[in-house]
Amino acid sequence: MGHAHTTSARSVEDHAVRIDEMITRVWSARPPETVPLTDALGRVTHADIEALIDVPNFRNSQMDGYAVDAESVADVPVTLPVTGVLAAGDAGDERHRSGTARKIMTGAPVPEGADAVIPVEDTEVDGDGVRILGSRRSGEYVREQGSDIAAGSVVVPAGTTLGPRHLGALTAVGRSDVTVRPRLRVAVIATGAELVEAGSALGPGQLYDSNGLTLASSVVADGAVVTFRGRSTDTADEFSAMLSEAAENADVIITSGGVSMGDFEVVRDVLGPRGGTFTHVAMQPGGPQGWTDLDGTPVISFPGNPVSTLVSYLVFARPAIRRLSGLPDAGTTERIADETVRSLPGRRQFLRGRLTETGVVVSSGPGSHLVVSMAAADVLVDVPADTVEVPAGNSVRVWPL
């Protein structure tokens, strides 16, 4: 058995690279999945998808009007006999006779021998025939077979996040299912003897478990799927059993709490002897961090203070999860500080902030327990470790929440 490794403070960048590598490795081992188009909204295509048929797969009319041969309507006005009616869905296998017209509806097959459609507004009924008032060239108002797309052509390229328009196109070209990238499967375990289910009565010293829902909903918002969600007390047996259950169907397990230097740090106590690494990252909030390769399943361990948990997720897990889900990087941007931003030396600070019309303001203190203040923020203000003050009017980096 290995032992818990404790190292000196790591940089945010180093830790982010380590977590990204762990998540990417397990996801890369997953094969692509084939899903029905009815379940494919939001999924990402694994490979280029080609049309199985021409679209349209027969010549059809672009207008309500009369199918003719252009030669017969070269000199207008002219009256032609009407030999029948073609509606959408008809077979249209009777050949057109030159010098006649066939009444035709939009989408109906244009009969062989006809090469133009006269829109109904360019005609008048003339007894049993039709008077053509405007001539048309060969091909006008006729949709040729394959004019939208030919069989074998790429409809949707690899790496496309499927929206309703893609699903409509894939159905039109004869597809009923699609091969997509696997979705990262994530298990979430919140730890802490003090945590209780939302809605129940709080006893002395107890807190509602906000971390479990915060992490699970973050995972879903970033395109992955939550396969397990648990809440463990600080007993090693219960946490160990929950880890085993979570690992059955998850690619990655994310835990919150139990990673500091105290006496009841269940995550550290259980995973340390199994080769887990627990370290301190030079950031605030979110300093204590851990990672473990648990028999091939990465366990990423965040601190338990609610703000620390969310900041850790946003900085370390979200970029990889979004990339593997095919979603655009949430990214960081530069904004002007409306007011002077003050920070502690030696640690990279992630302060809660609120965007304004002109820039950004810090909206609450640095405390990692101020969970409700997080709801009033819409960005994290990222202040480098060697910076103690950003004067008003200077730019700061912000991360979207």
Q: pLDDT of 269-305, one tens digit each?
A: 999 999 999 999 999 999 999 999 999 999 999 998 8
**Which residues are CB-neighbours of 13 under 8 A, at least 6 positions away?**
none
Q: Is residue 26 part of a domain?
A: yes
% of the chain exceeding 90 in pLDDT: 72
Average pLDDT score over residue span 234-257 = 94
Residue 121 belongs to what domain range? 60-143
CATH number at residue 198: 3.40.980.10
Residues 200 and 318 in one domain: yes
pLDDT score of 370: 54
Query: What pLDDT shows up at residue 312?
Result: 95
* Segment 195-217 mean pLDDT: 82
pLDDT at 365: 60
Rounded to an integer, what distance in angstroms lies between the CA atom of residue 341 and that of residue 347?
A: 15
Burial class (CB within 10 angstroms; exposed 0-12, middle 13-18, buried 19+) of 253: buried
**Residue 233, pLDDT score:** 84
Instruction: Answer yes or no: do 203 and 315 share one domain.
Output: yes
Burial bucket for residue 9 (CB in 10 Å: 0-12, 13-18, 19+): middle
Both 198 and 252 in one domain: the answer is yes
Q: Which two tokens stand for residue 130?
A: 């039709």
Q: First CA to last CA across the chain, in angstroms?
A: 39
pLDDT at 240: 95
What's the mean pLDDT in 353-376?
A: 75
The structural domain count of the chain equals 4
Q: What is the mean pLDDT of the chain?
A: 90
Contact indicator for 254, 317 with CB cutoff of 8 Å: yes
CATH number, domain with residue 38: 3.90.105.10
**Using one digit for the tens of pLDDT, what is the confidence trace for 125-177?**
999 999 999 999 999 999 999 998 999 999 999 999 999 999 999 999 999 99
pLDDT at 5: 44
Q: Do 24 and 39 fall within a single domain?
A: no
Q: What does the pLDDT look like over 318-351, one tens digit per residue?
A: 999 999 988 888 888 999 999 999 888 888 999 9
Structure confidence by residue, pLDDT tens digits, 2-28? 444 444 588 999 999 999 999 999 999
What percentage of the chain carries pLDDT values higher than 70?
95
pTM of the model as a whole = 0.79
- Over residues 106-119, mean pLDDT: 95
Asked, for residue 151, whether it belongs to a domain, the answer is no
